[in-house]
Amino acid sequence: MSFLSIEFACFFLILHILLYAFRDYKKQNVILLLASYFFYAMADIRLLALLFGISITMWFLGKKIYETGNRVFLITGVLIDVITLGIFKYYNFFVGSIFKLAGNDYTALNIILPLGISFYIFQSISYIADIYMKKIDAEEDLVNVLLYIGFFPQITSGPIVKANYFLPQLKKERVFCWNNIGDGLQLFCIGAFKKVVIADHLAVAVDAVYATPAAYNSVSIIFAIIAYSLQIYFDFSGYSDMAIGVATTMGFELGKNFNLPYLAENPSDFWRRWHISLSSWFRDYVYFPLGGSRKGRFKTYFNLFVTMLLSGLWHGASWAFVFWGLLHAFLSVIHKMFCDITGKAKKGETKTTFSKILSIIVNYFCVTILWIPFRTNSMSDALYILRRAFCFSAGVNYINDFCIIFLILTLIIQTYALVKNNGNNPVKPLDLCLLRNKVIFIYFIIAAFIFAYIGNTAFIYAQF
């Protein structure tokens, strides 16, 4: 069930009527669990059993970890999660690669990729890990664990919410008020605008050029590369805004998932701004357990490299994603080494305006080039596009107007954020008690309907 559908609008309305009718938070949790499972079953009811099985297993292991403190139960839970993810998402990739190295043919198995498995598996690991690290107590109420792992707004594409952040919200009265509904609907509409007006219009040019790069000249390919960097940002941040907005209307906080990532000055800064929930998950459950930066420089570089490489592999089962993660790992380690050698990592360091802008441009260039294998899913195709882009290739000249319009819009927003808000996202919900703000909000919704691209509602990160 897509957020951008009549079915979801009806689902959303009925759910809020029920939540308003039953004010007790425990009853609301049961309603939300049933609603979440219905939402998931609409995609493929067969895979609901896997989600339920993982959730109830983590609930049982969480109790054992809390009672005994035995690390064996934690390792067992992590292995179950990793093996499950490996079978459904990576089996054909790994086995096929082994067969190929051995020079043998391999017929891929027809394995269904469960919707949102990469996201709910990580949340289930967060649950048992937080119990082991004594950040939370084990849940006696099974409903809370089932709802935490299967909460419908973010199960398909995140944000990934840590157990110690979300579970306490399930155990207190949630305020059902018009302020929450107003703020949540504004976030939802902003996210929908990003998706259907910006990302989907950009997708037309990106899809055309990436489908047949040999037909287009270098300038057209460069514009398509830039357009994809904008498309993936507005597509994914748009989904995140919608998910956070839906949760906000029900009194939940999911946290922030994007903060103008193309204003990042270095690789570390980029990952503090892009897919924040995933970056913080890898930091807390991979980087820190490996030792973080506590065991010397070489171990720090190794831990950082492994963390970034796994982040790349998480995104997809292909060598292109491995290569994408590998290059991001190299960039992150090189930046860390540069900071250690030059002492640039000191707090309170100030940069000149020129050096800051130059850092942003260089970092954006690196990130945008690395989006190419991410989009193609093939290293050979990625290298071919790179050659076509930077070798003055002849071909059809196709510069999409929307690419220019939204590039200028992005630059204006980022410049304003840099000057007025220290590089942070300046967009805040309006106070809808004021008539002026109500008029602005209504005009925004009308603009979204007028300029929406009809024909593509699939979200990029839903495939992961």
pLDDT bucket at 111, cuts 50 / 70 / 90: confident
Q: Is 328 a catalytic residue?
A: no
The per-type count for the chain, helices as H runs and strands as E runs, is 20, 0
Q: 244: which 2 tokens?
A: 């956070």
Let me know whether 216 and 159 are in one domain: no
pLDDT bucket at 173, cuts 50 / 70 / 90: confident
- The pLDDT of residue 135: 95
Average pLDDT over residues 399-407: 89
Average pLDDT over residues 161-181: 90
The verdict on residue 333 lying in a domain is: no
pLDDT bucket at 103, cuts 50 / 70 / 90: confident
139 DSSP 8-state letter: P
Rounded CA gap, 440 and 322, in Å? 45
- The pLDDT of residue 346: 53
- Cβ neighbours, 10 Å, residue 97: 16
Straight-line distance from the first to the last Cα atom of the chain, in angstroms, rounded to the nearest whole number: 17
Question: Among 8-12, 40-44, 246-250, whose mean pLDDT is lowest?
Answer: 40-44
Q: Which of 140, 174, 208 is the last residue of a domain?
A: 174
Question: Among 136-150, 221-235, 284-298, whose mean pLDDT is lowest?
Answer: 284-298
Selected catalytic residue, list 201, 315, 328, 335? 315
Residue with tokens 């690196």: 366
Average pLDDT over residues 8-32: 94
| Contact indicator for 219, 287 with CB cutoff of 8 Å | no
Task: Write the burial class of residue 110 (CB in 10 Å: 0-12 exposed, 13-18 middle, 19+ buried).
Answer: exposed
Residues 6+ apart with CB under 8 A from 243: 3, 153, 154, 157, 158, 159, 191, 254
The verdict on residue 305 lying in a domain is: no
pLDDT at 342 over 90: no
- The pLDDT of residue 50: 95
Let me know whether 94 and 163 are in one domain: yes
- The pLDDT of residue 292: 87
pLDDT bucket at 44, cuts 50 / 70 / 90: confident
Let me know whether 66 and 202 are in one domain: no
Average pLDDT over residues 100-129: 90
63 DSSP 8-state letter: H
The verdict on residue 189 lying in a domain is: yes
Residue with tokens 């904008």: 230
| SS3 state at 396 | strand
- The pLDDT of residue 161: 95
Residues 6+ apart with CB under 8 A from 416: 426
Mean pLDDT (the chain) is: 91
The verdict on residue 151 lying in a domain is: yes
Q: Which of 155, 174, 193 is the last residue of a domain?
A: 174
pLDDT at 347 over 60: no
Q: Closest Cα partner for 138 from 27, 61, 55? A: 61
The verdict on residue 336 lying in a domain is: no
Let me know whether 88 and 196 are in one domain: no
Let me know whether 37 and 52 are in one domain: yes
Q: Which of 126, 150, 174 is the last residue of a domain?
A: 174
| SS3 state at 156 | coil
Let me know whether 196 and 221 are in one domain: yes
DSSP alpha helices (H): ranges in 86-116? 91-101
pLDDT at 39 over 80: yes
- The pLDDT of residue 296: 85
Rounded CA gap, 183 and 179, in Å? 6
The verdict on residue 316 lying in a domain is: no
- The pLDDT of residue 63: 97
Question: Among 301-305, 367-371, 398-402, whose mean pLDDT is lowest?
Answer: 398-402
Domain of 422 in residue numbering reads as 179-265+351-463
| Contact indicator for 189, 309 with CB cutoff of 8 Å | no
Rounded CA gap, 234 and 194, in Å? 5
| Contact indicator for 312, 321 with CB cutoff of 8 Å | yes
Query: Got the DSSP string for 173-232?
Result: -----HHHHHHHHHHHHHHHIIIIIIIHHHHHHHHHHHH-GGGB-HHHHHHHHHHHHHHH
The verdict on residue 343 lying in a domain is: no
Q: Closest Cα partner for 247 from 32, 463, 430? A: 32
Enumerate the β-bridge partners of residue 396: 216
Task: Write the burial class of residue 9 (CB in 10 Å: 0-12 exposed, 13-18 middle, 19+ buried).
Answer: exposed
Question: Among 198-202, 212-216, 292-296, whose mean pLDDT is lowest?
Answer: 292-296
pLDDT bucket at 344, cuts 50 / 70 / 90: low
Let me know whether 156 and 211 are in one domain: no
| SS3 state at 405 | helix
- Cβ neighbours, 10 Å, residue 16: 14
What is the number of domains present in the chain?
2
pLDDT bucket at 340, cuts 50 / 70 / 90: confident
The verdict on residue 299 lying in a domain is: no
Let me know whether 89 and 128 are in one domain: yes
Let me know whether 130 and 189 are in one domain: no
| Contact indicator for 394, 217 with CB cutoff of 8 Å | yes
pLDDT at 194 over 70: yes
| SS3 state at 154 | coil
Let me know whether 126 and 184 are in one domain: no
- The pLDDT of residue 158: 84
Let me know whether 14 and 134 are in one domain: yes
Rounded CA gap, 303 and 266, in Å? 18
| Contact indicator for 194, 451 with CB cutoff of 8 Å | no
Let me know whether 232 and 371 are in one domain: yes
Q: Closest Cα partner for 263 from 367, 118, 190? A: 367
- The pLDDT of residue 345: 52
- The pLDDT of residue 464: 67
Rounded CA gap, 15 and 37, in Å? 13
Residues 6+ apart with CB under 8 A from 300: 291, 292, 293, 336
**Percentage of residues in the chain having pLDDT higher than 90:** 68
Question: pLDDT (tens digit, 9 = 90+) per residue, 279-290?
Answer: 999 999 999 999
- The pLDDT of residue 15: 95
